[in-house]
Amino acid sequence: MNKMIMKLDELSCPSCMTKIEGTIAQTAGVKTVKVLFNASKVKTEFDENIVSRSELVSKVERLGYEVQNTKVTPL
């Protein structure tokens, strides 16, 4: 299991948070996801044997958000 924090360009509304959390939560291999609206960050725990960091970043970017950087740490 890994933990990843994605720093986004910006989140403009609470519905953004719901959209991102819903999309990432439905992804196989994701254990938890939490959007920190005021900090423009997405925290997630995921199994890299099932889903990769790049797949998660791509999902967020396909929703229309720019991921500025990521930090991945093992749990």
Instruction: Please write down the HEC assignment for all residues of the chain.
Output: CEEEEEEECCCCCHHHHHHHHHHHHCCCCEEEEEEEHHHCEEEEEECCCCCCHHHHHHHHHHCCCCEEEEEEEEC
For the chain, the domain total comes to: 1
Q: Give per-residue pLDDT as tens, 14-50.
A: 888 999 999 999 999 999 999 998 899 999 999 999 9
pLDDT category at 11 given cuts 50, 70, 90 is confident
Q: Does 10 score more than 90 pLDDT?
A: no
> What CATH number does the domain containing 58 carry?
3.30.70.100
* Residues spanned by the domain of 33: 2-74
Mean per-residue pLDDT of the chain? 93
Stated pTM of the model: 0.91
